[in-house]
Amino acid sequence: MNAVTVRVPAKVNLQLGVGPLRDDGYHDLVNVFHAVSLFDEVTAEPSGRLEVSVQAAPHSRVAIGGVPTDEDNLAARAARLVAERLGVRPDVRLRIRKAIPVAGGMAGGSADAAAALVACARLWDDRDQLTRDDLMEIGADLGSDVPFAVLGGTAVGVGRGERLTPALTRGTFHWVFATADGGLSTPAVYAECDRLRMEAEETAQWPTVSEGLMTALATGDPKGLGATLSNDLQPAALSLRPSLRRTIDAGRDLGAIGALVSGSGPTCAFLAETDDDAVGLAEALHGAGVAEQIVRAHGPVPGATLV
């Protein structure tokens, strides 16, 4: 078989409820994932050895400096795991074209891993031994957000965020994303969340799924969704990157019906009521100069898909 290309979406967390720190260093979550139309592409082709290259997607200004091109790259690790399962050599050239911000809180690395899982399975799994569920299970060993990048749509994740149930949604939601210069480390943001809670002498509660959020999704109600967006990591992201406060405030002032830090940040996500509103909001945010880059996207969209 020749080259295989897989397109894979970014995510925004509509609800990120962070429970107490577990003994294994992770937190129990209620994580409502939503896949949006900002895509990386991974092309896999047979090669003499495992190789990875990374470039910014055409028309995208993603800074790819921090992305490893050795065996540490999550996509390379994904290729190895698929090869192990199928008993083949992981000899594949992976070309990654990034439009999802790096270390931006939109699960770009997890997306590339998910795309590599799907692409390598397509290359090597002649006898269809691996189902999509198998790929999601392999993905969970690579990172908490990888299974969702395989699945896509909108889904509720529990545990580390890897145990997923698709959520009922209606229609399309219109988003504007404001990226920031430089990333934030996910472990550092979780650690800051723990530190702030300790400082405030606050015990972490077991998070539960927001009923209001689920109703807004099921009825396709953007205002309801905007009012119920929540992210327990936001105070930590703002503490580590205080300038994000100005970005969030600008989005609200300029008419966003919902505004929050995406995942562990520093990307900020703004919800608009209509596509036209999103165009206007994007222009206004661009003019306000509060972000590195402004990107529009809609959701939900499917997970990792062969193109």
Which residues are catalytically annotated?
11, 145
Minimum Å distance from CB 292 to ligand C5P?
A: 23
Q: Is 190 in the site for ligand C5P (CB under 6 A)?
A: yes
- CA 264 remoteness from chain centre: 10
Applying CB under 6 A, which of residues 58, 65, 187, 289 lies at the interface with ligand C5P? 187
Q: Nearest CA to 304 among 150, 164, 165?
A: 150
User: For ligand C5P, what does the binding mask look like between residues 65 and 104, x meaning CB under 6 A?
Assistant: ----------------------------------------
| CB nearer ligand C5P, residue 13 or residue 43 | 13
Applying CB under 6 A, which of residues 161, 258, 266, 299 lies at the interface with ligand C5P? 161
Residue pair 50/80 in contact (Cβ under 8 Å)? The answer is yes
Q: Nearest CA to 185 among 129, 145, 241, 140?
A: 241
| CB nearer ligand C5P, residue 152 or residue 263 | 263
| CA dist., res. 134 & res. 297, Å (int) | 29
> Which amino acid is it at 103?
A
Minimum Å distance from CB 49 to ligand C5P?
A: 26
Enumerate residues 6-65 that contact ligand C5P by CB under 6 A: 25-27, 29
Count the residues of the shown chain that bind ligand C5P, applying the rule CB under 6 A. 12
| CA dist., res. 11 & res. 287, Å (int) | 25
Residue pair 177/281 in contact (Cβ under 8 Å)? The answer is no
**Beta-sheet strands, E only, within 47-187:** 51-56, 92-98, 154-159, 163-166, 173-179
| CB nearer ligand C5P, residue 161 or residue 300 | 161
Minimum Å distance from CB 130 to ligand C5P?
A: 21
Where does residue 128 fall: left (phi above 0), alpha (psi -120 to 50 degrees), or beta otherwise? Answer: left
Q: Which residues are near ligand C5P by CB under 6 A?
A: 25-27, 29, 143-145, 160-161, 186-187, 190
